[in-house]
């Protein structure tokens, strides 16, 4: 079934709990409820509600307030480029040498004119032009030889000069005559015989021109995204050196690690596995919340290597880390920077980014911020990128009338996730819900996954349920690369397993069914429009 998301209205105030740094040496088997990070250190909890947070809850770093030790970078520092591509419409001045030749072997008869042509298809402003000519004739003094440019300008090469048994052969410099002319078009060589009794042959001739490209130059087409589907994990960062993640990470094929150079021309130096939005760098391990981001990444794609956990999309998808989300600027600004980066990487650099995992969020009541959130996610939609977002960990709170961003945005590429309990029997006690803004639920309690330092740990929260859905989406894109973000969202919605406990809590009344979703993706064939009106 297709579910229509309704826009949210502004809510009354809700109380949210703060987040701080986790203990330095937690037990690797500890079950922790993880607060989905919010911009003001809040996440929709109200300890006075039924199902208050459990005693083993550990607060998470937010980083949404600027870190005094982090550089607050101007907007101009975040300018992503198309890379080593010429820009359409840009005036360039590139030295170019072109050659063209013809072998007419045409007879030059008495009192007749022979013509031959060569062409250039590149617009080059000429600095020099040389004519190479091989013309045999029994009496050169009979001949008038001329070269005419595409614009109609004519230069005389020979005008009845010489005597008997003279051939017109050699290289003639006509640079002065044609300087500044465009090489583009057809050039015509004419040989006219002005007298009787002598004959000859125009064997071959050619032009060698040198100059600079003139006017706008069309850029080469950007590479088409290829390879495994990529899930961009917007979070604190990912430990890409973890034994379960080192082969699961997206690696920038056009960047050289550690040389301090922006090799691919995208505006970021050494962005090997992604981008740090908080510090405007390629170091995705710098900043707060890397434990959260590493755990999320492992749920998606941790390797099937007999250690720890195996990601849902292991071997089928790659993870791109957009780290530093909780450092430097506020959450919304960092999100916008991350969106600009991944859209650029997909559209101009061939990165096959199909989904964005957003295990974070917060309430934004002001219209200006809501407009910015909408614009950023619309950029994702325009780039055909699915946004998989976590609802709050609000201990049963209803999010229908909360301006929760980005989860509650009403766009066709957004799917929002609540958490089921560890047994997948009912909504987890810590999870929020909302039948107008949350589509489905997935297991998010006691989920074992990777943490920094080569370890694994169980965590709980909607933050853990969300990458389960993002990974399933990646499997669907892998099974059927032609699917769009909106189509994958609709298939996820249509293939849920209905659960009585979710009635009235999520719009589908159901929970994620991975096998059914992937099967539907494999079998999906888009129905073409049948009328002009439907196009």
Q: Residue 259 pLDDT > 60, yes or no?
A: yes
Say if CB 312 and CB 471 are below 8 A apart: yes
For the record, the structure tokens of 194 come out as: 């002005």
Residue after which a domain boundary falls, among 191, 213, 235: 213
Number of H helices, E strands in the chain: 7, 23
Q: Tell me, yes or no, whether 316 lies in a domain.
A: yes
For the record, the structure tokens of 222 come out as: 């950007």
Look at residue 35 in the predicted model and tell me its pLDDT: 58
Q: Residue 26 pLDDT > 50, yes or no?
A: no
Mean predicted confidence (pLDDT) in 459-478: 98
Residue after which a domain boundary falls, among 213, 242, 259: 213
For the domain that residue 398 is a member of, what is the CATH number?
3.40.50.200
For the domain that residue 168 is a member of, what is the CATH number?
2.60.120.260
Q: Are residue 444 and residue 394 in the same domain, yes or no?
A: yes
Q: Residue 240 pLDDT > 50, yes or no?
A: yes
Q: Tell me, yes or no, whether 1 lies in a domain.
A: no
Look at residue 88 in the predicted model and tell me its pLDDT: 35
Q: Are residue 506 and residue 443 in the same domain, yes or no?
A: yes
Mean predicted confidence (pLDDT) in 391-418: 97
Say if CB 160 and CB 75 are below 8 A apart: no
- Taking the C-alpha atoms of residue 121 and residue 334, their distance in angstroms, rounded to an integer, is 46
**pLDDT tens track for 98-138:** 999 999 999 998 889 999 999 999 989 999 999 999 988 87
pLDDT class for 356, splitting at 50, 70, 90?
Answer: very high
Q: Which strand (E) or helix (H) includes residue 178?
A: helix 175-178
**Considering its fold, how many domains does the chain have in total?**
2
Q: Are residue 192 and residue 129 in the same domain, yes or no?
A: yes
Q: Residue 180 pLDDT > 70, yes or no?
A: yes
Q: Are residue 283 and residue 356 in the same domain, yes or no?
A: yes
Mean predicted confidence (pLDDT) in 187-210: 90
- The mean-pLDDT minimum among 45-59, 84-98, 257-271 falls in 45-59
Look at residue 450 in the predicted model and tell me its pLDDT: 98
Q: Tell me, yes or no, whether 16 lies in a domain.
A: no
Q: Tell me, yes or no, whether 237 lies in a domain.
A: yes
Q: Residue 11 pLDDT > 80, yes or no?
A: no
Look at residue 214 in the predicted model and tell me its pLDDT: 56
Q: Tell me, yes or no, whether 6 lies in a domain.
A: no
Look at residue 81 in the predicted model and tell me its pLDDT: 66
pLDDT class for 523, splitting at 50, 70, 90?
Answer: very high
Q: Give percent of the chain with pLDDT exceeding 90.
A: 70
pLDDT class for 213, splitting at 50, 70, 90?
Answer: confident
pLDDT class for 525, splitting at 50, 70, 90?
Answer: confident
Q: Are residue 45 and residue 130 in the same domain, yes or no?
A: no
Residue after which a domain boundary falls, among 149, 181, 213: 213
The stretches of 321-459 forming alpha helices (DSSP H) are 331-349, 367-382
pLDDT class for 219, splitting at 50, 70, 90?
Answer: low
Mean predicted confidence (pLDDT) in 234-246: 97
Q: Which of 14-18, 56-60, 264-268, 528-532 has the highest mean pLDDT?
A: 264-268
Look at residue 159 in the predicted model and tell me its pLDDT: 85
Q: Are residue 112 and residue 234 in the same domain, yes or no?
A: no
pLDDT class for 533, splitting at 50, 70, 90?
Answer: very low
Q: Tell me, yes or no, whether 435 lies in a domain.
A: yes
Q: Which domain holds residue 146?
A: 95-213
More confident residue, 531 or 229: 229
pLDDT class for 37, splitting at 50, 70, 90?
Answer: low
Q: pTM value?
A: 0.68
Select from 312, 358, 307, 352 the least CA-distant residue to 335: 358
Q: Are residue 383 and residue 250 in the same domain, yes or no?
A: yes
Beta strands 226-234 and 200-213, pairing class:
unpaired
Q: Tell me, yes or no, whether 445 lies in a domain.
A: yes
pLDDT class for 484, splitting at 50, 70, 90?
Answer: very high
Q: Are residue 129 and residue 193 in the same domain, yes or no?
A: yes
Which residues lie closer than 8 Å to 277 by C-beta, 6 or more apart? 78, 322, 323, 324, 325, 328, 329, 334, 335, 337, 338, 341
Average pLDDT value for the chain: 84
Mean predicted confidence (pLDDT) in 408-413: 97
Q: Are residue 177 and residue 270 in the same domain, yes or no?
A: no
More confident residue, 226 or 235: 235
**pLDDT tens track for 149-168:** 999 999 999 887 766 667 88
Q: Tell me, yes or no, whether 196 lies in a domain.
A: yes
Q: Are residue 264 and residue 376 in the same domain, yes or no?
A: yes
Q: Are residue 395 and residue 417 in the same domain, yes or no?
A: yes
Q: Are residue 413 and residue 285 in the same domain, yes or no?
A: yes
pLDDT class for 196, splitting at 50, 70, 90?
Answer: confident
Annotate 344-367 with b (16+ C-beta within 10 A) or e (fewer): bbbbbbbbbbbbbbbbbbbbbeee
pLDDT class for 402, splitting at 50, 70, 90?
Answer: very high
Select from 269, 293, 347 the least CA-distant residue to 85: 347
């Amino acid at each position: 079934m297709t579910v229509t998301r309704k826009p949210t209205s502004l809510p009354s105030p809700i109380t949210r709990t703060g987040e701080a740094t986790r203990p330095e040496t937690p037990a690797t088997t500890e079950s922790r409820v993880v607060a989905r990070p919010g911009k003001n250190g809040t996440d929709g909890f109200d300890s006075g509600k039924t199902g208050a947070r459990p005693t083993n809850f550990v607060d998470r770093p937010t980083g949404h307030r600027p870190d005094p030790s982090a550089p607050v970078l101007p907007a101009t520092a975040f300018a992503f480029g198309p890379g080593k591509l010429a820009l359409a419409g840009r005036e360039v001045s590139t030295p170019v040498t072109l050659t063209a030749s013809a072998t007419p072997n045409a007879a030059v008869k008495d009192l007749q004119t022979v013509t031959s042509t060569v062409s250039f298809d590149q617009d080059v402003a000429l600095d020099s032009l040389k004519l190479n000519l091989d013309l045999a004739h029994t009496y050169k003094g009979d001949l008038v030889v001329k070269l005419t440019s595409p614009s109609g300008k004519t230069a005389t090469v020979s005008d009845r000069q010489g005597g008997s048994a003279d051939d017109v052969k050699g290289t003639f410099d006509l640079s002065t005559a044609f300087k500044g002319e465009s090489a583009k078009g057809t050039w015509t060589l004419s040989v006219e015989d002005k007298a009787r009794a002598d004959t000859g042959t125009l064997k071959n001739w050619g032009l060698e021109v040198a100059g600079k490209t003139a006017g706008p130059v069309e850029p080469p087409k950007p590479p088409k995204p290829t390879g495994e589907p990529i899930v961009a994990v917007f979070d604190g960062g990912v430990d890409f050196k973890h034994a379960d993640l080192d082969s699961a990470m997206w690696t920038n094929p056009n960047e050289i690690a550690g040389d301090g150079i922006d090799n691919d021309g995208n505006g970021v130096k050494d962005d090997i596995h992604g981008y740090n939005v908080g510090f405007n760098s390629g170091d995705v391990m710098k900043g707060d919340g890397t434990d959260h981001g590493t755990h999320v990444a492992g749920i998606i794609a941790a390797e099937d290597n007999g250690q720890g956990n195996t990601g849902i999309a292991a071997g089928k998808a790659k993870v791109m880390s957009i780290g530093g989300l909780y450092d430097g600027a506020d959450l919304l600004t960092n999100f916008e920077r991350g969106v600009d980066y991944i859209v650029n990487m997909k559209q101009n650099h061939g990165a096959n980014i199909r989904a964005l995992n957003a295990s974070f969020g917060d309430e934004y009541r002001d219209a200006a911020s809501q407009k910015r959130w909408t614009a950023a996610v619309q950029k994702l939609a325009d780039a055909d990128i699915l946004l998989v977002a976590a609802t709050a960990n609000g201990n049963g709170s209803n999010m229908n009338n909360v301006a929760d961003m980005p989860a509650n945005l009403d766009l066709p590429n957004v799917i929002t996730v609540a958490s089921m309990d560890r047994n997948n029997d009912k909504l987890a006690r810590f999870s929020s819900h909302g039948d107008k803004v949350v589509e489905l639920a997935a297991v998010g309690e006691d989920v074992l996954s990777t943490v920094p330092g080569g370890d694994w740990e169980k965590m709980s929260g909607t933050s853990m349920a969300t990458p389960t859905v993002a990974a399933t989406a990646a499997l669907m894109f892998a099974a059927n690369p032609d699917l769009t973000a909106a189509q994958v969202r609709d298939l996820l919605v249509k293939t849920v397993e209905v659960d009585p406990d979710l009635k009235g809590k999520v719009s589908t009344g159901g929970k994620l069914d991975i096998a059914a979703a992937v099967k539907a993706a494999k079998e999906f064939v888009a129905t073409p429009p049948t009328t002009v009106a439907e196009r």
